[in-house]
Amino acid sequence: MSSQPTPPADDVAAERAFLATYDAAAFPHPSVTVDVATMTTFDGALHALLVRRSDHPAKGRWALPGGFVGIEESLDGAAERVLRTKAGLGGIFLEQLYTFGAVERDPRTRVISVGYYALVEASRLTAAKPDVGETVLARIDVPWTGESGGPVRALDEAGRELPLAFDHAEILGLVVQRMRGKIDYAPLGFQLLPERFTLRQLQQAHEAILDRSLNKDSFRRSIITRGLVAATGETEKDVPYRPAELYRYAQAENG
Amino acid sequence: MSSQPTPPADDVAAERAFLATYDAAAFPHPSVTVDVATMTTFDGALHALLVRRSDHPAKGRWALPGGFVGIEESLDGAAERVLRTKAGLGGIFLEQLYTFGAVERDPRTRVISVGYYALVEASRLTAAKPDVGETVLARIDVPWTGESGGPVRALDEAGRELPLAFDHAEILGLVVQRMRGKIDYAPLGFQLLPERFTLRQLQQAHEAILDRSLNKDSFRRSIITRGLVAATGETEKDVPYRPAELYRYAQAENG
DNA sequence: TCTGCATATATGCTTCAAGCATCGAAGCGT
DNA sequence: ACGCTTCGATGCTTGAAGCATATATGCAGA
């Protein structure tokens, strides 16, 4: 805030003197990690990237990619680093979710975890090659119950439930809840689609997030009248029915 | 999550052995604090409790009450403790807001701050006696601009702008933004009023949060038809006009 | 080539909530 | 008794969403 008045010069000197003697390591601190839920949609459902833990604690269980926050690294920077190094992804939507601070959430020691979630189109996520052992794109099943979704389950392609490490089921539940609360007014759906998409694809992304079907005409009208999309004039190709027009995201030009 | 399968017995033994040798203090950690914005409404505006910093850094500036998170204390517990010890308040609405993790946000050392906000009725806040030096109930001015509010200013009763420490202006801006986004569907307004209140008082609380006037009839209809309030049969007293009926909050009974 | 099919896209009707104006009701003060 | 202020109800209008219907378009198969 550059509009704030500058303190008197002698206060500045006193502050400098204080800082020179401050001992940051004088008392025990909780550790801080970031955990990143990378979400995408396909087959009409939300999916998240999970990695199988190769070490204790929770060895063998499935977890969100995460890492400790460096001493000279911002939280956002740490989340970007985890996303880049553990999921092989960069330049995508990434937003802080919530911070989880229960004392016993990690059995090793006191760990506070700042949860993030990222959104990416499915083709980029399946093409990305994470360099961290065994991974899976798990279907995240959180039944629609109006407000705060139902129980959280992570399923593999065969429908088997994957056991999650730590409190990561809780984190994923909050990710889904946040996405459901936000998609009505924030352009989350576009982050899950390629640059050009049909309105049907956009609706399917919304339906996957919400876990409920939407009225087709109302959806189209709402998206178009709000000026969220612009027609490209092109149509989809190689479909066995009438091709739909391709649209692109048009960042709200209101006036 | 008790529904998860139990790992095999030998894995449990291996995990115990691992934990016995884990050294939590082996690498440098950022410190973690909580900062609590205690909000109330009166005179048609939002107000926040601020304390004047008596020590460096930022000596003399106004700050949100805060404190370091203990090694065996949850984040929510730390926020409750700060609220109790530094504002003299307990048993009120308290919710996590966002976590601020820029590297240079505190000049002492690396400090990550988990922001919380609390809501309380004005009479309880003015009656509470914080035991931490000089305090002020600052009017928080964030102009309504539709989406993400305007510039954040903290003003004393005379309208003078109070200089804020660290990134606390940013935190307060996010508090207001969160409250504005949430009040349409969450019962925030009731937290700012006594148990029994008139619909006019509730509307004034909403208007103070939003910094804009609301249509009286639409507001009444919306609140009543959503079943958010129940009439008590009593009316307000000692008013120089027709007394309005007193209502109380009725936690959404939908069926 | 013609026909059927699946989907896209446009149009109209109904329902419901919000904005807005009007009007009577209920207390208090002069 | 009268006027003032606010409460609280009623009705009208507008706009968005749900729903149904009708037409358009491209492909596949007879």
Bond into B57 cis (ω within 30): yes
CA of A50 to C1' of C24 (A): 66
Assign residue B211 the CATH number of its domain.
Answer: 1.10.10.10
Specify the pLDDT at position A87: 92
- What CATH number is attached to the domain comprising A80? 3.90.79.10
pLDDT value at position A130? 67
Give the model's pLDDT for residue B206.
Answer: 96
Q: Mutating which of A96, A99, A153, A162 best tests the B interface, going by the most B Cβ atoms within 10 A?
A: A99
Distance A242 CA to C4 C1' (A): 14
Instruction: Find the Å distance, CA of residue B231 to C1' of nucleotide D9.
Output: 16
Cβ neighbours of A19 in B, within 8 Å = 56-57, 107-108
Handedness of CA A102, A104, A107, A111 (dihedral sign): positive
Say what the pLDDT of residue B21 is: 62
**B178 φ/ψ angles, rounded to the nearest 5 degrees:** -65, -45
Q: Which of A155, A182, A209 is at the close of a domain? A: A182
Same-domain pairing of A124 and A208: no
Tell me whether residue A154 is in a domain: yes
pLDDT at A22: 57
On whether both B174 and B71 belong to a single domain, the answer is yes
pLDDT per position as a tens digit, B174-196: 999 999 999 998 999 999 999 99
Among all residues of chain B, which has the CA nearest to that of A105?
A: B74
Please check whether residue B82 lies inside any domain of the structure: yes
CA-nearest residue to A71 within chain B is: B30
In a domain, B239, yes or no: yes
Do the domain assignments include residue A208? yes
Distance from CA of B240 to the nearest CA of A (A): 43
**How many CA atoms within 13 Å lie on the side-chain side of A135?**
21
Q: Answer whether A11 sits within 8 Å of B69, measured CB to CB.
A: no
| Residues 184-223, chain B, CB closer than 7 Å to nucleic strand C | 214-215, 217-219, 221-222
Whether pLDDT at B255 is above 60: no
Record: contact A18-B56, CB cut-off 8 A = yes
More confident residue, B58 or A141: A141
B96 phi/psi in degrees, rounded to 5: -70, 145
CA angle A42, A44, A48 (to 5 degrees): 50
**pLDDT recorded at residue A133:** 83
* Phi, psi for residue A58 in degrees, rounded to 5: 60, 35
Q: Which stretches does DSSP call E strand in chain B?
A: 31-42, 45-52, 62-63, 66-68, 93-100, 111-119, 135-141, 153-155, 229-235, 245-249
Which of B124, B157, B182 marks a domain boundary? Answer: B182
Q: Is the domain of B55 the same as that of B148? A: yes
Chain A CA closest to residue B79: A101
Q: Which residue of A has its CA nearest to B26?
A: A31
- Please count the other Cβ atoms lying within 10 Å of the Cβ belonging to residue B49: 26
Taking Cα atoms as reference points, which of B94, B172, B171 lies closest to residue B139? B172
Answer whether any strand C atom is within 7 A of the Cβ of B240: yes
Count helices and strands in chain A by DSSP H and E runs: 6, 10
Whether A19 maps to a domain, the answer reads no
Q: Which residue of A has its CA nearest to B182?
A: A181
Pairwise pLDDT comparison (B7 vs B232), residue with the higher score: B232
Write down the residue that tokens 């000049």 correspond to.
Answer: B107
Tokens representing B28?
Answer: 């440098």
Instruction: List residues, Cβ < 7 Å, touching strand D.
Output: A 214-215, 217-219, 221-222, 225, 235, 239-243; B 198-200, 217, 220-221, 235, 241-245
Residue B177 and residue B240 in one domain = no
Domain boundary among A182, A213, A228: A182
Q: List for chain B the helix, strand, coil content (%; round to 5).
A: 30, 25, 45
B215 and B167 in a common domain: no
**B248/C26 CA-to-C1' distance in Å:** 22
Average pLDDT over residues B85-113: 95
Q: Answer whether any strand C atom is within 7 A of the Cβ of A229.
A: no
ipTM of this predicted structure:
0.90
Q: Identify whether A241 is part of a domain.
A: yes
The reply to whether B15 falls in a domain is no
Smallest Cα–C1' distance to nucleotide C20: which residue has it?
A: B215
In the structure encoding, which two tokens stand for residue B248, read together? 């109380």
CA B61 – CA B107 distance, rounded (Å): 14
Contact A56 B15 (CB under 8 A): yes
User: Does B201 share its domain with B124?
Assistant: no
B29 and A71 in contact by Cβ < 8 A?
yes
pLDDT in tens, chain A (255 residues): 334 444 444 555 666 665 566 555 556 789 999 999 999 999 999 999 999 999 888 899 999 999 999 999 999 999 999 999 999 999 999 999 999 999 999 988 899 999 999 999 999 998 876 677 899 999 999 988 766 677 999 999 999 999 999 999 999 999 999 999 999 989 999 999 999 999 999 999 999 999 999 999 999 999 999 999 999 989 988 888 889 999 999 875 443
pLDDT band at B78 (very low <50, low <70, confident <90, very high): very high
Cα dist from A181 to A149, A186, A209, B125, whole Å: 11, 9, 10, 32
Report the residue of B3, B27, B99 to disrupt the A interface, i.e. the one with the largest count of A CBs within 10 Å: B99
Task: Tell me the C-alpha distance between A32 and B112, whole Å.
Answer: 9
Q: How far does the CA of residue A251 sit from the closest CA of chain B (Å)?
A: 14
B37 & B138 share domain: yes
Asked, for residue B209, whether it belongs to a domain, the answer is yes
B229 with B162, same domain: the answer is no
Q: What does B98-132 look like in DSSP terms, one character per residue?
A: EEE--TTSSSSS-EEEEEEEEE--HHHHHH----S
> What values do phi and psi take at A219, rounded to 5?
-60, -50
The whole-number pLDDT of residue B55 equals 85
Number of domains within chain B: 2
* Mean pLDDT across B27-34: 88
Domain membership of residue A217 as a residue range: 195-249
What confidence score (pLDDT) does residue A197 get? 95
**B115 and B233 within one domain:** no
State the smallest CA–CA distance between residue A57 and chain B in angstroms.
6
A127 and A64, same structural domain? yes
Cα B159 to its chain centre, rounded Å, is 23
- Based on the domain organization, do B157 and B226 belong to the same domain? no
Tell me how many residue pairs between chain A and chain B have CB atoms under 8 A apart.
130
Share of chain B above pLDDT 70, in %: 85
Residue A3, pLDDT score: 40
Residue B5 pLDDT more than 70? no
Which nucleotide is nearest, taking the CA of residue B242 and each C1'? Answer: C27
B212 with B171, same domain? no
